[in-house]
């Protein structure tokens, strides 16, 4: 086969291709369908660079290789040379008149699971190694890329530095105890202390370690030196919550800013979320249109709703009053002091305000040790951003910068001082008011794709009883 430079289908369909019209070009990709008759075959080829296929037209008699043509079935992989021409057919602008085709890999029609007919998302989860080849998952993973890129772009444009925080840590940033242990000790015969406990001083790091639940504590160290930083990395939670909004391994974006109070923090979260959604509407039109058509008719309306509205800002106490007076029967009853469930969050956003809502000043008893205590002594300067369909998408706070108060909270909550001595020292040496938040990347992906299950917006989901692929 003659070597000709490969063209991505994206470039052919979205960029200026006029200089290629009438020229012999090469495309490579996976066959979505082959149809036709004795005289002509039409191959719809997709290379994942864009949701659209390019049509390859084969003049069967002139081409001559019947056996090769027969092997070009759904799922097979080919390289095709041919003339790029304006298409006569409906539904596409360009097509390729094949001169030569090389078959890289066949896909037995009896065995290849992704035949043309629609599959359920549940079934596709079981074949996560092949589902990127569907239109749905192609669209989702391209959006995931665009969103990641937009996140870095936003922070770069706003003077934030990307800080890489560790994945293996010896502390529990959220104090929730839902951590995966990291160890190289022999599970059958671990070394024991005199008291008969596992002796972690003999473990790889000489102490107990776990996968991080959040990069925040180290992020604060960065902010108290570089002013504005952000992290964007995987985080891990060993909670046994088998819901459509929880993963055991998820990606989190955590900006942390010196000299920001909670209001600056809320302003940043709101402008950040609006920027990301605007970016997607501008850059992922085709993929969003596909998802809207297939899964969620209101998708773009919901995205516009975020951009077009100022987020409502109320306190937790005000929210409790609204919920108590709503006359709604919630599965989890509300009273001041309870942690809000997603049914409560969604009631506020979807029924009461019909806009994104930021709740602040939660009871200290339901929030993490590092949040700044309000003067009332009862509440902390926390802020959660609530979105329609999702509930909590962002959690953050102003941080306690006062050494004595922070030390008091650490003791009160039974946190080992030896695990966080370095964190405490930033409050001893040049402490500063500062704030930050965490955005759950997959929660945002759920929102922008209109998908219903968080396992469908990450390539290889990790959830209780599930670590395949």
Applying CB under 6 A, the span of 146-154, 158-166, 258-266, 438-446 interacting with ligand 4AD comes to 438-446
Among 254, 270, 345, 400, binds ligand 4AD (CB under 6 A): 254
356/438 with CB nearer ligand 4AD: 438
* C-beta separation of 428 from 403 below 8 A: yes
* C-beta separation of 57 from 95 below 8 A: yes
Q: Of all residues in this chain, which one has the CB nearest to ligand 4AD in the complex?
A: 440
Q: Is residue 276 close enough to count as binding ligand 4AD by CB under 6 A?
A: no
C-alpha 50 chain-centroid distance: 20
Q: Is residue 440 close enough to count as binding ligand 4AD by CB under 6 A?
A: yes
Q: CA geometry: angle at 134 spanning 24 and 390, to 5°?
A: 135
C-alpha–C-alpha distance, residues 148 and 142, integer Å: 10
Q: CA geometry: angle at 328 spanning 327 and 333, to 5°?
A: 105
Q: Is residue 396 close enough to count as binding Mg ion by CB under 5 A?
A: no
Q: Of all residues in this chain, which one has the CB nearest to Mg ion in the complex?
A: 395
CB of 255 to ligand 4AD, least distance (A): 8
Among 138, 222, 233, 395, binds Mg ion (CB under 5 A): 395
DSSP strand pairing (77-86 vs 94-105) = antiparallel
204/460 with CB nearer ligand 4AD: 460
First to last CA, the chain: 35
323/380 with CB nearer ligand 4AD: 380
C-alpha–C-alpha distance, residues 280 and 361, integer Å: 32
Which does residue 438 touch among ligand 4AD, Mg ion, none (CB within 5 to 8 A, set by kind)? Answer: ligand 4AD
C-alpha–C-alpha distance, residues 339 and 344, integer Å: 10
Q: Is residue 406 close enough to count as binding ligand 4AD by CB under 6 A?
A: no
Element (H, E) at 90: none
Among 270, 287, 361, 392, binds ligand 4AD (CB under 6 A): 392
Task: List CB contacts of 150: < 8 A, sequence separation 6 or more.
Answer: 275, 276, 279, 280, 283
Q: Is residue 247 close enough to count as binding ligand 4AD by CB under 6 A?
A: yes
* Residue ranges in contact with ligand 4AD by CB under 6 A: 173-174, 214, 216, 237, 246-247, 250, 252, 254, 392-396, 436-438, 440, 442-443
* Residue ranges in contact with Mg ion by CB under 5 A: 395
């Amino acid at each position: 086969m003659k070597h000709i430079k490969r063209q991505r289908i994206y470039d052919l369909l979205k960029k200026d291709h006029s200089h290629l019209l009438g020229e012999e070009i090469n495309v490579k990709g996976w066959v979505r369908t082959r149809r036709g008759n004795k005289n002509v075959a039409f191959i719809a080829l997709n290379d994942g660079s864009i949701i659209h296929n390019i049509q390859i037209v084969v003049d069967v008699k002139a081409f001559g290789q019947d056996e090769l043509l027969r092997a070009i079935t759904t799922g097979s992989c080919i390289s095709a040379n041919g003339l790029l021409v304006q298409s006569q057919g409906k539904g596409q602008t360009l097509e390729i008149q094949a001169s030569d085709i090389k078959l890289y890999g066949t896909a037995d029609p009896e065995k290849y699971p992704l035949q043309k007919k629609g599959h359920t998302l549940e079934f596709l989860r079981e074949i996560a190694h092949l589902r990127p080849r569907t239109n749905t998952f192609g669209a989702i993973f391209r959006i995931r890329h665009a969103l990641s890129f937009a996140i870095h772009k936003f922070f770069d444009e706003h003077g934030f530095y990307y800080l890489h925080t560790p994945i293996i840590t010896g502390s529990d940033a959220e104090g929730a105890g839902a951590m995966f242990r990291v160890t190289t000790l022999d599970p059958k015969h671990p070394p024991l202390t005199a008291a008969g406990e596992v002796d972690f001083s003999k473990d790889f790091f000489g102490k107990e370690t776990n996968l991080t639940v959040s990069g925040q504590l180290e992020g604060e160290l960065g902010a108290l030196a570089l002013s504005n930083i952000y992290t964007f990395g995987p985080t891990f939670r060993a909670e046994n919550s088998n819901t459509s909004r929880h993963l055991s391994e998820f990606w989190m974006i955590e900006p942390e800013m010196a000299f920001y109070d909670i209001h600056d923090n809320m302003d940043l979260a709101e402008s950040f979320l609006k920027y990301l959604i605007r970016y997607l509407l501008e850059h992922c039109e085709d993929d969003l249109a596909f998802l809207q058509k297939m899964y969620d008719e209101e998708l773009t309306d919901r995205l516009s709703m975020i951009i077009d509205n100022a987020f409502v800002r109320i306190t937790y106490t005000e929210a409790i009053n609204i919920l108590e007076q709503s006359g709604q029967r919630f599965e989890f009853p509300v009273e001041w002091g309870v942690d809000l469930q997603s049914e409560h969050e969604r009631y506020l956003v979807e029924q009461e305000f019909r806009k994104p809502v930021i709740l602040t000043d939660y009871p200290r008893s339901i929030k993490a040790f590092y949040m700044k205590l309000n003067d009332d002594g009862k509440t902390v300067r926390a802020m959660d951003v609530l979105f329609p369909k999702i509930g909590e998408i962002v959690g953050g706070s102003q941080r306690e910068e006062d050494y004595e108060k922070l030390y008091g909270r650490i003791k009160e909550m039974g946190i080992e001082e030896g695990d966080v001595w370095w964190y405490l020292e930033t409050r001893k040496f040049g402490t500063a008011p500062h704030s930050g938040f965490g955005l759950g990347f997959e929660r945002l992906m759920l929102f922008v794709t209109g998908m219903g299950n968080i396992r469908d917006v990450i390539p290889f989901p990790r959830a209780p009883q599930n670590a395949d692929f």
